[in-house]
Amino acid sequence: MAFKKLELIEPILKALEEEGYTTPTPIQQQSIPLVLERRDLLGCAQTGTGKTAAFAIPILQILHEEKKHETGRKQIKVLILTPTRELAIQIDESFAAYGRHTGLSHAVIFGGVSQVPQVNQLRHGVDILVATPGRLLDLMSQGYVGLQHLKIFVLDEADRMLDMGFIHDVKRVIIKLPAKRQTLFFSATMPPEIQKLADVLLTNPAKVEVTPVSSTVEKIDQTLYFVDKPNKPSLLLYLLKDQAIVTALVFTRTKHGADKVVKILHKENITAAAIHGNKSQNARQHALTQFKNGNLRVLVATDIAARGIDIDDLTHVINFELPDVPETYVHRIGRTGRAGNTGIAYSFCDAEEREELRDIQKLIGKPIPVTDSHPYPASAGNSAPLQQRPPQRPSFRKQGGNQSQGRRPQGGNFRGSRSGSR
């Protein structure tokens, strides 16, 4: 199916053609007609499925058609609420790209930077506002943002809002929304609290679900390296000797770990930068821009900092450390298989990460292929098949009962015990 068959208006089709997009992804095929019908939408979709265009394109069309009948100062008609600054910026860029011929205005607001330029943009009037919860509430309390004219509300990455502790801020925003509106709700997972929120927000919604875990990982070439923890830096440097790795996104569990990896890479004259919660917004955005432009070969990130980052033509993801939560593994490696492309994912596993590996392989429904062809093989026992390794972890990792239950209670509304250090 081509975009032309979705009954899109010429200004949007022209912009899509200029961007080089001709064929919609599955979520776009399903969502665009439903949004154009003014239906509420519940979308269960992971990052990298083309989700942003699935709501941005029909929103632009709806506003463009209504613009003909409007006069006076522009008012905020669409609010997209998203958890991270990086994702907010990317969504705003998508509206700029797809809406360049529509005459519609858009703005993005987020914390960590001066509010003055954002306020100045709002004063001129905007049709579409992309925002993170904290800065939005700040500017609403100061009287710079009014939502009384809102027609469409988009809640993006709802489960990550919960993970990052923003759910109460989200509820404070929802109270201020007009009762009569169209709501589009997107979440990669549906833990009980998110399901309750969806039930409150949505009226007779159409449901779209795409890219289950199995199909996300099928198109990615995964390789597992058993390695002792002290040898992980050496293994990383060994792999990066391969010039076929043009760009690599490396994941660590903690902010300190990310900084440490960058220092190791710099010593070997490998261009790299870290993005995490301790970095300023400007520093994070600069690093991301440099990486996208090819001026950095390696970007080292924690999960929360990297959430929603969309990097075209990323060839490799390297899990320097395995995540606590198996779904996070799928999110990580999925960044290299964007919108139908293939990718390569390398994962390091030390003796303390065996339980995480077991959970990941259970989630994706298959073992990750193991390679022994590297100079830093794990010590005896660490690389044995999982079912042959009954010994438990040291007792200090077991406080509070079963560790896997402590990490991820039933319902999935807790996404990792170490998130506070990221």
Percent of the chain with pLDDT over 90: 56
Reduce the DSSP state of residue 84 to 3 states and report it: coil
According to the model, what pLDDT value does residue 389 have? 38
Confidence of residue 138 (pLDDT cuts 50, 70, 90): very high
Percentage of the residues of the chain whose pLDDT score is greater than 70: 83
* Six token digits for residue 52: 């942003």
Confidence of residue 339 (pLDDT cuts 50, 70, 90): low
pLDDT score, position 164: 84
The residue that leads in pLDDT, 190 or 402, is: 190
Helix (H, G, I), strand (E, B) or coil at 314: coil
- pLDDT above 70: residue 208: yes
Average confidence (pLDDT) over 383-403 = 38
Q: Strand order in 248-251's β-sheet? A: 220-226, 343-349, 316-319, 248-251, 298-301, 272-275
Buried b (16+ CB within 10 A) or exposed e, 284-306: bbebbeebbeeebbbbbbbbbbb
Residue 362: per-residue pLDDT: 86
pLDDT higher than threshold 80 for residue 26: yes
H or E stretch covering 421: none
CA atoms of 180 and 197, how far apart (whole Å): 17
pLDDT of 87 strictly over 60: yes
Rounded CA gap, 111 and 282, in Å? 11
pLDDT, position 403: 33
For 391, other C-beta atoms within 10 Å of its C-beta total: 8
Answer whether 48's CB lies under 8 Å from 339's CB: yes
**Does residue 76 surpass a pLDDT of 70?**
yes
Question: Which of 45-54, 146-155, 310-319, 348-357 is the least confident region?
Answer: 45-54
- Please report the domains of the chain, with CATH numbers, ordered by start residue: 3-210 (3.40.50.300), 214-421 (3.40.50.300)
Lowest mean pLDDT among 91-95, 265-269, 418-422: 418-422
pLDDT band at 147 (very low <50, low <70, confident <90, very high): very high
Asked if pLDDT for residue 388 goes beyond 50, the answer is no
pTM above threshold 0.95: no
The whole-number pLDDT of residue 315 equals 86
Q: Which amino acid is it at 182?
A: Q
